[in-house]
Structure 1
Amino acid sequence: MIRRFTSLLLGLALVGGGMSACAPAKDDGTTTAKALAQALTKHTVGELPFDQPGATIQKELDALAKGVDPVWPAVSVENVVVNKDGSAKVALDYSWKLPKTTTAWAYKTEASMQRDGDGWKIAWAPAMIEPSLKAGERLKIDSLYTQRAGILDASGDAIVKDRPVRIVGINKNGLSEADAEAGASALAAVLEIDPTNFIAKVKAYGPVAFVDAITLRDDAFAALDQVRLKSIPGFLATVGTMPLAPSRTFAQAILGTVRDATAEDIEKSKGEVVAGQVVGASGLQAAFDSQLAGTPGITVLAVPGETSSEQSTEKPSTAAPATASPTPAAATDQPPRQLFSVPPVEGKDVKTTLVTAIQNDAEGALAHLSTPSSVVVMRASTGAILASANGPASNGYNTAFLGQYAPGSTFKIATALGLLRQGLTPDSKLSCTPKFTADGKNFLNAPGYAASALGEISMTVAIAHSCNTAFVSQFDKLPQDKLADAAAALGIGMSNDLGLDAFMGSVPRDSAGTEHAASMIGQGKVQASPLALAALMSTVVKGSVSAPVLIDAHDGKAKPASSPALTAPEALALQSMMRASVTDGYLDLLADLPGAPAIGKTGTAEFGTENPPHTHSWVIAAQGDIAVAVFVEDGDLGAVTAGPIAKAMLAAAAGK
């Protein structure tokens, strides 16, 4: 922390070879005053001329700075008044930028100097730092944090709120070091955490400290082996609260988590974060951390300095050892004095578009899957995301928003739009053959393709039965850039700030040959996320681009990729073909849903190098104003794996 700088030259005489140079004019006090202000700003005295040894004053500055580190003021000179008796008064302006507040702490102090030859000697006094500061007092910043604001669902009810937890750890009070280490090892085994790190943490803490290992929800704590826990030396579980969702998995990748600020958080924040503060670690908790946390109240205190005998035994300190002289007894008898205060400002809730009941249903629909999976439910007219869930095998990753996968036959909706713009109609005939060769590559239909749907069939039938060869056969009639334009008209590739990172799909504009042919059926280099396909489905229903919305009143500045916009006749044509998927195709399981007619499209995207290849399972579907996208990595045919989940979600969303 201490940085030395070269002392200012206050006078210089040059004599040599019988020649002399004129000495510069004596310092009128301004140069020394500015050097003082610079030294105080850096809280480093260097070799400035004081009336006490510089090392003594440096110790005082270090002790003063310790309680407010890394915060320190900027100091400047307002004026210097020189008296006839050779003394001078320096008016100093102080300005502190305190953590997480726009209100600066500003005040003036005064320093005394006395002429000393051609230079000056500065009289040290604590009041030079703050006008009321007394000898032996130290500065301290206290932060007062209000309760963290909540994350709300679409109805305004709190999703994330303070819920009971158990803070599990080892209480070292009364334990020998050997017993404490044994207890730490045994507890780590029960909790299935890294024993090496926890044992080291327990050893580092003081002899009477409680050393936390993990914070668990009440249900997770109850599931532990209570008999084993009670047998562990020093085991202790204290009751507390933390801002949590209804369950560990509920919208986990969206909501995110919080944690107590780490040493790394504090160091990176440069004073914005302090020990004991709760900070957002991921998801919306991190993205909207400032809004949720609010602004802490800041109080600057003058407190009695520690005597050399005062030592903490509870936790190891990472701060530098105190270098100040022992505090005078009189100073330790004084209560803390408030020098400056800014009241806290409460955080503001973040209201999402999530519907708790639908989100719960989405979580449940994926609970049985053993590969990464996701469900996205949107209200087509507004773009509101009513639910976005990821299966347990996603392991906390936001597959729904960030997954980049070949969309397979769901992308035939974009291809169909491109063909409509090339002059075809839903009734136009396409050739559906068992095999089609494009630029030397053979394309086949999905296993079990119905023989009755082969031959010259309408584009509507090709959509309903998902004939690969029918669409690939048109690759030389629909240029790649026109295919990309059609996808863009359906929302693929749009830019949109949801408040969280999201991948809205990509379609290359320069694919050629077999890569272009593969693009016609959502393979090649075409990529989409489940969210992107939910937006595509919503756009077909709405008749114009439906940009996803996650945070109420948050302007995502959505901008579709450059493309001719979707027209009403085009949307109606796509809807009619997707209805055929339900009435005469692979999505007939949606036909018995009560209410508005359901529409949709299956998708089975090949990946990997095995023969036969593994497949991703997709379904996009809609009923009324509700659009759904379902994805299962390494699943069966779209209708087989994703179809029942899509049906369950449409039924769950009905009327909610």
Structure 2
Amino acid sequence: MHIYVREPMIRRTSALLVVLALVFTGTACSPVKDDGSTTAKALAAALASHTVGEIVFDKPGAEVQKELSELSKGIDPVWPQVSVDSVVPGDGDTVRVSLNYAWNIPKLAKPWTYKTGADMKRDGDAWTVTWTPEMLEPSLKAGERLAIETMYGQRASILAADGEAIVKDRPVKTVGINKAGLSDAEAEASANALAAVVGIDTAGYLAKVKAYGPVAFVDAITLRVEAFDALDQAALTGIKGFLATPGTLPLAPSRSFAQAILGTVREASAEDIEKSKGQVVAGQTVGASGLQAAFDAQLAGTPGVTVVATAAPAASTASPSASPSAGTADAGTSPVANPAPPRILFSEAPVNGQDLKTTLVPTLQTAAEDSLAGVKTPSSIVVLRPSTGAILASANGPDSNGYNTAFLGQYAPGSTFKIATSLGLFRLGMNPTSTVSCTPEFTADGKKFFNAPGYAASATGEITLTTAVAHSCNTAFVSQFDKLAQDKLADAAGALGIGLTNDLGLDAFTGAVPRDSAGTEHAASMIGQGKVQVSPLAMATLMASVVKGTTVVPQLVDGRDGKATPAGGAPLTEKEAGDLRTMMRAVVTDGYLGILADLSGTAAIGKTGTAEYGTDTPPRTHSWVIAAQGDIAVAVFVEDGDLGAVTGGPLARAMLAAAAGG
């Protein structure tokens, strides 16, 4: 027993004696000397942040910091990642540090990488770094500075369906004031005069003129050449300092041509540059809206960059005998009187942008815009090709004021929605010859519904569903509200493309039909009122789906997969679509769209719609027409209009005629 107890005691005593011996001799507490690795890592971190911090150099740290800051000015905010590759002992108490540099230059696929080095000398237990510019780049010499130059490739074009460029470089003139030789008072007077002639904000331009230097050219506006030529030339030439400089910008054929879709470009603003975190630089052209913004990276391509070493600017006032205290730089940073050309350290050529092909047909787009030119309220026309879903034209009237009414508008569709309601009734067992009751009024859940003013008395009483569609009998459809549930109505609309999820490349509203509307609200849904909301694009999709016999997915950018998802419910069948086409033909032959009856070619079909909105008495009305002929589907919308047939009918006819080439 005693033997087993004493053995561990002896071991513990021996261990304690060893520890005490180490403590007294100082071995256990002696710090391990830095072999240079720790200082090298600190140096790499300091260079990566271009802040010398606590690093000890062979010259004052403040001077090194100044030199480092000067070196970085021309390339900031781009700065490299720096790491230690190796620390190799040299002669005596010196080491050579090998440093890895990696510059992640914006928009370049691969970083600029290289190795360089730094020398360090032991100073007691610490290290002193020998400062040289080659610590940043192996060929960098004293007095040189880093600079980055950006080169841009050709911004690509937005193409029409036939592959021809819609947006391409077109001549422009930038109008402004050249302040050189003008007094402050003259510059102010000229700014006021120019702002009045070109129609820009006077106060804003005056502030800009005052902020610029005494010899600067201060741009006011960039105009297409034809717009510039339309200005009062005599008034312009009478303005002191007036200057118009020629140039080009990627532009559409006209200022309004598919503006909401194509979008615009501009020179990068200070805000663009700041938000981009180095991705956008001064002088770069960027997409500001529409497809130009949505596909900016593709259209712009990749900028090229060149990193150069340049001589420091020459001091203009220093004499050869001036001492450093008189204001000249020290020997390591002396400016060069006759600097050599910049030396290229790294270069990556720009890559031109790639064209973006759309489905637009310029002749139809122009026809649509011309048709809406005189409409004094927000309006739009959308033209689709049912067989492919291609959007051939999408125009917004001038009173849409640049807003994309065609894609983003959210409006009650009125009686055009009766096509969806008819599909829902088909799915209850009805067909185009089924009988419904068309009465002067119908009360649903306590609310009275009426037919449109001037409704034909001959189309009242017990009539076919086809006649109800042709003459747009509200009461016939509302009377079915207790048979066709709201969710089944939503399913029918979904089968025709309403509520479809699809990425066109631009934001678009494809419609929404509530699934939980009840009572009066449900009854109103039967005739496209209540909370049913659509866009003109959505109604063009509905019309195209009827023509094709299956749900059509709209397409704006050629070859783009929008990952479409149907809204839900059973898909549309050809039999259902054929019955809908039969009834929509009756709208032309026997109803309100007789204006389409004499179009040459394939028989036209369509449906009118008038949707009440607002609180006015009588209520204001949206005017709708959806129509098709052959492989062309059209939706026409006017925010404040008369009956659909009155306001929208002529516009629909004009578009179908244009599509047919007549």
Taking structure 2 as the reference length, the TM-score comes to: 0.92
| Cα distance in structure 2, aligned partners of 1:537 and 1:499 | 22
- Report if aligned partners of 1:60, 1:325 keep a CA contact under 8 Å in 2: no
Partner of 2:58: 51
Which of 422, 430, 435 is matched with 2:441 structurally? 435
Q: Are residues 1:110 and 2:114 paired? A: no
- Report if aligned partners of 2:312, 2:336 keep a CA contact under 8 Å in 1: no
Structure 2 vs 1, CA of residues 569 and 115 (structure 1 numbering), >3 Å: closer, same or farther? Answer: same
Partner of 1:647: 653
CA shift, 1:640, in A, is 0.5
CA shift, 1:206, in A, is 2.2
Partner of 1:32: 39
Which of 386, 389, 395 is matched with 1:383 structurally? 389
Partner of 1:501: 507
Q: Are residues 1:625 and 2:626 paired? A: no
Partner of 1:537: 543
Partner of 1:614: 620
Q: Are residues 1:207 and 2:214 paired? A: yes
Partner of 1:601: 607
Partner of 1:195: 202
Partner of 2:68: 61
Structure 2 vs 1, CA of residues 168 and 325 (structure 1 numbering), >3 Å: closer, same or farther? Answer: farther
| Cα distance in structure 1, aligned partners of 2:334 and 2:77 | 26
Q: Are residues 1:487 and 2:487 paired? A: no
Q: Are residues 1:306 and 2:304 paired? A: no
Structure 2 vs 1, CA of residues 180 and 25 (structure 1 numbering), >3 Å: closer, same or farther? Answer: same
Equivalences for residues 372-411 of structure 1 within 5 A: 372-411=378-417
CA shift, 1:331, in A, is 7.6
Which of 213, 221, 234 is matched with 1:227 structurally? 234
CA shift, 1:560, in A, is 1.4
- Report if aligned partners of 1:137, 1:331 keep a CA contact under 8 Å in 2: no
| Cα distance in structure 2, aligned partners of 1:465 and 1:309 | 88
Partner of 2:454: 448
Structure 2 vs 1, CA of residues 514 and 331 (structure 1 numbering), >3 Å: closer, same or farther? Answer: farther
| Cα distance in structure 2, aligned partners of 1:362 and 1:236 | 37
AA matched with 2:550: S
AA matched with 2:164: D
- Report if aligned partners of 1:135, 1:331 keep a CA contact under 8 Å in 2: no
AA matched with 2:522: H
CA shift, 1:138, in A, is 0.9
**Secondary structure of the residue that 2:38 maps to in structure 1?**
helix
| Cα distance in structure 1, aligned partners of 2:380 and 2:335 | 66
| Cα distance in structure 2, aligned partners of 1:138 and 1:253 | 46
**Secondary structure of the residue that 2:399 maps to in structure 1?**
helix
Partner of 1:369: 375
Partner of 1:249: 256
| Cα distance in structure 1, aligned partners of 2:193 and 2:330 | 45
**Secondary structure of the residue that 1:498 maps to in structure 2?**
coil
- How many residues end up aligned between the 2 structures? 626
CA shift, 1:42, in A, is 1.2
AA matched with 2:416: T
Please identify the structure whose Cα radius of gyration is greater.
Answer: 2
CA shift, 1:309, in A, is 4.6
| Cα distance in structure 2, aligned partners of 1:91 and 1:446 | 86
1:126-151 deviations in Å (ceiling 9; x for gaps): 10100000111111111111221111
CA shift, 1:214, in A, is 0.2
Name which of structure 1's ranges 601-610 and 19-28 shifts more when overlaid on structure 2.
19-28
**Secondary structure of the residue that 1:476 maps to in structure 2?**
coil
| Cα distance in structure 2, aligned partners of 1:259 and 1:52 | 48
| Cα distance in structure 2, aligned partners of 1:332 and 1:520 | 84
**Secondary structure of the residue that 1:617 maps to in structure 2?**
strand
| Cα distance in structure 2, aligned partners of 1:174 and 1:84 | 65
CA shift, 1:367, in A, is 0.2
**Secondary structure of the residue that 2:592 maps to in structure 1?**
coil
| Cα distance in structure 2, aligned partners of 1:433 and 1:102 | 70
**Secondary structure of the residue that 1:494 maps to in structure 2?**
coil
- Report if aligned partners of 1:51, 1:121 keep a CA contact under 8 Å in 2: yes
1:371-430 deviations in Å (ceiling 9; x for gaps): 000000011100111111000000011100111111111111111001100111111111
- Report if aligned partners of 1:51, 1:123 keep a CA contact under 8 Å in 2: yes
Partner of 1:14: none
| Cα distance in structure 1, aligned partners of 2:330 and 2:393 | 62
| Cα distance in structure 2, aligned partners of 1:62 and 1:374 | 57
AA matched with 1:152: L
CA shift, 1:20, in A, is 13
**Secondary structure of the residue that 2:140 maps to in structure 1?**
coil
- Percent identity of paired positions between Structure 1 and Structure 2: 71
Name which of structure 1's ranges 500-509 and 221-230 shifts more when overlaid on structure 2.
221-230
Structure 1 unaligned spans of 5+: 1-18, 311-322
Q: Are residues 1:261 and 2:275 paired? A: no
- Report if aligned partners of 1:305, 1:332 keep a CA contact under 8 Å in 2: no
| Cα distance in structure 1, aligned partners of 2:213 and 2:155 | 30
Which of 338, 353, 356 is matched with 1:347 structurally? 353
| Cα distance in structure 2, aligned partners of 1:286 and 1:565 | 35
| Cα distance in structure 1, aligned partners of 2:46 and 2:337 | 26
| Cα distance in structure 2, aligned partners of 1:51 and 1:144 | 39
CA shift, 1:608, in A, is 0.2
Structure 2 vs 1, CA of residues 119 and 514 (structure 1 numbering), >3 Å: closer, same or farther? Answer: same
| Cα distance in structure 2, aligned partners of 1:254 and 1:589 | 30
| Cα distance in structure 2, aligned partners of 1:123 and 1:617 | 81
Structure 2 unaligned spans of 5+: 1-25, 318-327
Name which of structure 1's ranges 470-479 and 549-558 shifts more when overlaid on structure 2.
549-558
Partner of 1:318: none
Partner of 2:467: 461
| Cα distance in structure 1, aligned partners of 2:622 and 2:532 | 14
AA matched with 1:47: E
Partner of 1:290: 297
Q: Are residues 1:421 and 2:420 paired? A: no
| Cα distance in structure 1, aligned partners of 2:644 and 2:315 | 73
- Report if aligned partners of 2:471, 2:592 keep a CA contact under 8 Å in 1: yes
| Cα distance in structure 1, aligned partners of 2:158 and 2:329 | 46
- Report if aligned partners of 1:298, 1:344 keep a CA contact under 8 Å in 2: yes
AA matched with 1:626: I
Q: Are residues 1:328 and 2:328 paired? A: no
AA matched with 1:389: A
AA matched with 2:443: T
Structure 2 vs 1, CA of residues 325 and 154 (structure 1 numbering), >3 Å: closer, same or farther? Answer: farther
CA shift, 1:208, in A, is 2.0
AA matched with 2:271: E
| Cα distance in structure 1, aligned partners of 2:252 and 2:457 | 50
CA shift, 1:82, in A, is 2.9
AA matched with 1:87: T
CA shift, 1:26, in A, is 2.0
Q: Are residues 1:513 and 2:519 paired? A: yes
| Cα distance in structure 2, aligned partners of 1:83 and 1:47 | 24
Partner of 2:277: 270
- Report if aligned partners of 1:190, 1:224 keep a CA contact under 8 Å in 2: yes
**Secondary structure of the residue that 1:645 maps to in structure 2?**
helix
| Cα distance in structure 2, aligned partners of 1:309 and 1:488 | 75
**Secondary structure of the residue that 1:475 maps to in structure 2?**
coil
CA shift, 1:324, in A, is 8.3
AA matched with 1:243: P
| Cα distance in structure 2, aligned partners of 1:475 and 1:50 | 87
Equivalences for residues 76-87 of structure 1 within 5 A: 76-83=83-90, 85-87=92-94
Q: Are residues 1:90 and 2:97 paired? A: yes
**Secondary structure of the residue that 2:172 maps to in structure 1?**
strand
- Report if aligned partners of 2:314, 2:336 keep a CA contact under 8 Å in 1: no
Partner of 1:356: 362
| Cα distance in structure 2, aligned partners of 1:239 and 1:595 | 49
Equivalences for residues 526-565 of structure 1 within 5 A: 526-565=532-571
AA matched with 2:610: T
**Secondary structure of the residue that 2:412 maps to in structure 1?**
coil
CA shift, 1:308, in A, is 5.2
Name which of structure 1's ranges 42-51 and 488-497 shifts more when overlaid on structure 2.
42-51
**Secondary structure of the residue that 1:147 maps to in structure 2?**
coil
